[in-house]
Amino acid sequence: MRNTNRRRSGPLVAAIILGAAAVAFAFYCKPMPAMEDKALLLSDSTVLVEPHSVGLVFSPVISESRAAKSSGLVFYGAARVSPEAYAYLARACAAAGYTTVLASMPLNFAIFAPDIAAKAASSCPGVMRWVISGHSLGGVVAASFVARNDKESAGKAIAVAGLFLLAASPDRRVDLSTKFLSVVTVGATHDTLSPPAKIAEGRDRLPAGSRYVEIAGGNHAQFGEYGPESGDGFAEIPGPTQRKATVEEALALLDHAESGVGK
């Protein structure tokens, strides 16, 4: 009888363990609430915002006095962070003439759609070259995509002119040091999730001449608009100040790509 009870209890214990794991995973995957200005997601006379299968596409509105530029940006968000949290960046880039795609990821984890930049590029045929960008885990995945992209067979690789990393560095298995590629990494002095020292460890895996910018007083979460993040440092500058500096660096890199350098 005892052996029978043990055999019967085995599946029950396994079910309980699996159920608990599922609940824990669901809790872990709960997205960070986007706290962006909703107006950033509305089209106007300068920027067209459209939902697409690959994410949110921000395009410059074309007029007689304003033409779209031939470079664009694809952005991979941080883990559990929705694309809308980076609308500030996409809108600013689009307003400057650069088509920008905020990639949509399953469960908001870039690791589940690492090659989405290629799909984004195919959905925007007017863009001739791309800057691939990402925040935190999204930046790690973005760098890995750039490394794989060069190895794609003819017709599948996309033209990548730059890599723009926010609070991120390439995975230890990724080496971009020999690539002809413009790279800018932006970190923050009060980021305790991706501290400057950790980011510095990846610099030897980036091309010579890559730039590193450190925002004094900034932290990890303020690269997006989703509120404070557990384990992060306390920022000593307002979020808009940090994001303004981020936009300036993104536009400088896009301008560099548009000039034909690094393509």
pLDDT tens readout for residues 149-180: 977 655 579 999 999 999 999 999 999 999 99
Contacts of 134 (CB under 8 A, 6+ apart): 75, 76, 77, 78, 110, 140, 141, 142, 143, 164, 165, 166, 168
∠ Cα 191 214 166 (to 5°): 65
Res 27 pLDDT > 90? no
pLDDT of residue 15: 47
Q: Cα–Cα distance between 115 and 77 in angstroms, integer?
A: 13
Which residue, among 104, 100, 110, has the nearest Cα to 134 in the 3D structure?
110
Q: What is the tens place of the pLDDT at every residue in 206-233? A: 999 999 999 999 999 999 999 999 999 9
Give me the pLDDT at residue 147, please.
96
Q: Does the pLDDT of residue 7 top 90, yes or no?
A: no
pLDDT of residue 5: 58
Helix (H) or strand (E) holding 144: helix 137-149
Query: Tokens standing for 77?
Result: 């968000």
Quote the crossing angle between the two packed helices 87-95 and 239-258, to the nearest 10°. Answer: 40
Cα angle 161, 164, 169 (rounded to 5 degrees) comes to 120
The model's pTM = 0.87
Q: What percent of the chain has pLDDT over 70?
A: 86
